[in-house]
């Protein structure tokens, strides 16, 4: 089943309810691979909209709306995000159609074409970024600070972003998908003070997942997104960020 889908580019693994996935993938296009109760499933998602779903278990097989409903009935899902290029999404939709997993049958060609149109600019931007600004050596003073942060034990990647754009990054990271995901989380966090003013201003956010931690924190007029291994202590992360603030 899921092994017939394109592999895609790994974004990360985590745990969250179904609606959280939709609300935090508004700029994501790809597969959500789900594991639970000795079964496996997937969803195809484009800009927060589910396009296909299937779940396979030794005792049950669900496709399309019934699979989506089953995912929604679970309080927490273990899942991984895999970003697709337009060609991969088109292939995944064709596979889903064969499995009768499409949530809106007959739309596979239209959705694939739309995916190509909406992501064409993003692909060019990413290619130009990779040609002119390697992930481990971005121009300017900020990358020097990022490089220093990357040298700390347990830190695997660092990105600096603002207004939806990754201004610099170091380490092995899908900068485009990372920034889109981080900004969605950031908007959610910044809205919290309006609901509970006593919380104060946004200082830092930490996301736990099985492969490690992601820390998002203000950095001057921009934001930092720091990826670490699970064993890194929070005190270390806070100290590293404070050291970077001292160099602004």
pLDDT, tens digit (0-9, with 9 covering 90-100), for 82-118:
999 999 999 999 999 999 999 976 655 544 444 434 3
The half-sphere exposure of 50 on its side-chain side, counting CA atoms within 13 A, is 25
pLDDT in tens, 132-147: 333 343 333 445 778 8
Within 10 Å of residue 227's Cβ, how many Cβ atoms?
A: 23
| The pLDDT of residue 96 | 94
Return mean pLDDT, the chain.
76
Domains and CATH numbers, the chain: 2-125 (no CATH), 133-246 (3.30.450.30)
| The pLDDT of residue 94 | 93
Cross-strand bridge partners of residue 155: 228
| The pLDDT of residue 200 | 57
SS3 170: strand
Structure-model confidence comparison of residues 120 and 83, the more confident one: 83
Q: 14-28, 33-47, 231-245: which range is least confident on average?
A: 231-245
**The model's pTM:** 0.52
Burial of residue 151 (number of CB atoms within 10 Å: 0-12, 13-18, 19+) = exposed
Structure tokens at 246: 């001292």
Tokens 């934001």 found at? 223
pLDDT in tens, 168-200: 888 877 777 777 778 777 777 666 555 445 555
Structure-model confidence comparison of residues 112 and 31, the more confident one: 31
């Amino acid at each position: 089943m899921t092994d017939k889908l394109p592999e895609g580019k790994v974004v990360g693994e985590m745990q969250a309810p179904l609606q959280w996935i939709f609300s935090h993938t508004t700029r994501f296009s790809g597969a959500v691979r789900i594991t639970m109760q000795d079964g496996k499933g997937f969803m195809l998602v484009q800009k927060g909209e589910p396009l296909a779903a299937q779940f396979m278990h030794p005792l049950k097989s669900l496709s399309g709306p019934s699979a989506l409903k089953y995912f929604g009935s679970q309080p927490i899902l273990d899942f991984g995000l895999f970003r697709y290029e337009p060609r991969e999404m088109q292939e995944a939709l064709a596979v889903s159609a064969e499995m009768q997993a499409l949530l809106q049958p007959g739309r596979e060609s239209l959705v694939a074409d739309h995916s190509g149109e909406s992501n064409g600019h993003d692909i060019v931007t990413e290619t130009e970024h990779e040609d002119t600004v390697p992930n481990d050596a971005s121009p300017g003073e900020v990358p020097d600070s990022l490089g220093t942060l990357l040298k700390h034990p347990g830190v695997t990647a660092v990105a600096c972003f603002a207004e939806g754009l990754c201004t610099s990054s170091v380490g092995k990271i899908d900068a485009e998908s990372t920034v889109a995901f981080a900004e969605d989380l950031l908007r959610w966090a910044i809205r919290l003070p309006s609901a509970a003013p006593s919380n104060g201003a946004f200082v830092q956010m930490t996301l736990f997942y099985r492969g490690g931690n992601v820390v998002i924190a203000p950095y001057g007029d921009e934001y930092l997104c720091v990826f670490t291994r699970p064993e890194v202590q929070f005190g270390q992360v806070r100290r590293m960020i404070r050291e970077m603030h001292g160099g602004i």
